[in-house]
Amino acid sequence: MNSRRDFLQKIAASALVMPLMPLAGWAARVNHYDGPVLKVAIMGLGSYGNRVAEAMKACVKAKLTGVISGTPAKIKDWQGRFGIPEKNCYNYDNFDQVKNNPDIDAVYITTPNALHHDQVIRIAAAGKQVICEKPMAVNAKEAQEMIDACKKAGVQLLVGYRMHFEPKTLEIIRMRNNGEFGKIMFFQGQCGFRIGDPTQWRLNKQLACGGAMMDIGIYAVNGARYMVGEEPVWVTAQETKTDPVKFKPGVDETIQFQLGFPGGAVASCLSTYNMNNLDRFFLNGEKGFAELWPSTGYGPIKGRTNKGELTQPHVTHQTVQMEEMAGILLEGKQPTVAVNGEEALKDLKIIDGIYQAAKTGQKVNLHL
Ligand code: NAD
């Protein structure tokens, strides 16, 4: 794991042990909450699954009640750490049986990208709500199939877009909607890190179904949309590869891409697995600007606008995300920026366009 990720993980880990609000206030809230609780099973007990599970300890409206894993030793470990009973533990062969388990309302899928499609469809068929990590699918066709399967089964499909609940990000969106930056003209999104271990699934075409774009570039794709506040209508892209041994055919190392928006704004973005210190968003309008740097790491997110520093408090992203997703699934809450399958489909249509534009050198029109 690269040093940036290590650093961000240390900060996030220390944030997990700090209360999200003064202890007395938090305890009072927990004690007084008697509303519905979303009972969640996590599928794929890897690095991110662990982070979500730890963050959920601080949730009031969401609780980890089950696990799905192919590794019995991990299941034992999680049972001990989170108090999960044997009857709520499944493997990849028998997890369709969650259908009959009233202790599980939703399954949160945190497995490698290529597996999301079939796993989402199986969970939907079992009649449970689905939360899936990004990238939800590996292309727009798969994303549409997943949306259709969830609709058919009458379950909701949410995607782990944790930045859609991040306070400084939401403040910029509020200011933009309020006209405080004037007409939006330009967005810059730089997302990347130097990836380590060449044997990891993120560099395996079959499991990752791409490279940096699927993993980290997607933050610039998604960020361009929620920062500009419009859907792009065209994309151009250029790929460079300095290390064809580490980044095999079909695994992108570095892609620059540009998006055009209907109001005239343009975005210029960079996605890479081969440079550190890239986690920055910049939005420019006729009357002002906003910068987030870091913009999408685990935090603390930092930012400023032409009016000064952004001072919203740091939160553990996954705690707030799960709290808000419980509100969406149990109470029909509407988030400021959508986190559903349709939102992910738009990102995947753009990513399909980026890969096509990089391959052909042509401008690709987008129909989101
Ligand atoms: P990871 O390798 O740490 O964990 C993946 C887990 O899936 C492992 O426990 C592994 O055993 C399991 N798995 C099941 N079937 C597998 C198979 N056939 N091959 C390999 N592993 C298999 O990866 P991670 O970093 O936890 O990423 C998992 C997902 O979460 C990815 O889709 C990634 O994009 C996403 N993610 C999101 C964020 C975020 O901030 N939203 C951060 C990290 C990862």
Is the CB of residue 260 less than 8 Å from the CB of residue 228?
no
- Give the domain-ending residue among 123, 144, 161: 161
The secondary element (H helix, E strand) that includes residue 169 is helix 167-177
- pLDDT of 27-66, one tens digit each? 555 568 999 999 999 999 999 999 999 999 999 999 999 9
- Is the same domain home to 191 and 116? no
Q: What is the structure's pLDDT at 18? A: 36
Per the domain annotation, does 326 fall within a domain?
Answer: no
289 lines ligand 1 (CB under 6 A): no
Report the chain's mean pLDDT, rounded to a whole number. Answer: 93
Show Cβ contacts of residue 77 under 8 Å, excluding neighbours closer than 6 positions: none
Q: Bigger pLDDT: 6 or 182? A: 182
- CA terminus-to-terminus distance, the chain: 35
Which residue has its alpha carbon closest to ligand 1 atom 17? 112
- Is the same domain home to 219 and 87? no
Which residue has its alpha carbon closest to ligand 1 atom 41? 160
232 lines ligand 1 (CB under 6 A): no
201 lines ligand 1 (CB under 6 A): yes
Per the domain annotation, does 77 fall within a domain?
Answer: yes
- Is the same domain home to 44 and 69? yes
- Is the same domain home to 110 and 195? no
Phi and psi, residue 121, nearest 5° = -65, -40
110 lines ligand 1 (CB under 6 A): yes
Separation of alpha carbons 318 and 109, rounded Å: 14
Per the domain annotation, does 321 fall within a domain?
Answer: no
Which of 48, 95, 202, 351 maximizes ligand 1 atoms within 8 Å of its Cβ, making it the mutation to test the pocket? Answer: 48
- Is the same domain home to 141 and 171? no
Which residue has its alpha carbon closest to ligand 1 atom 8? 46
Cite the active site residues. 134, 219
- pLDDT of 304-336, one tens digit each? 999 999 999 999 999 999 999 999 999 999 999
pTM of the full predicted structure?
0.93
Number of domains forming the structure of the chain? 2
In which domain, by residue range, is 100 found? Answer: 7-161
- pLDDT of 184-200, one tens digit each? 999 999 999 999 999 99
Ligand 1: centre distance to CA 47 (Å): 7
Which residue has its alpha carbon closest to ligand 1 atom 15? 111
- Is the same domain home to 190 and 273? yes
Structure tokens belonging to residue 36:
């519905």
Is cis: bond before 135, omega within 30 of 0?
yes
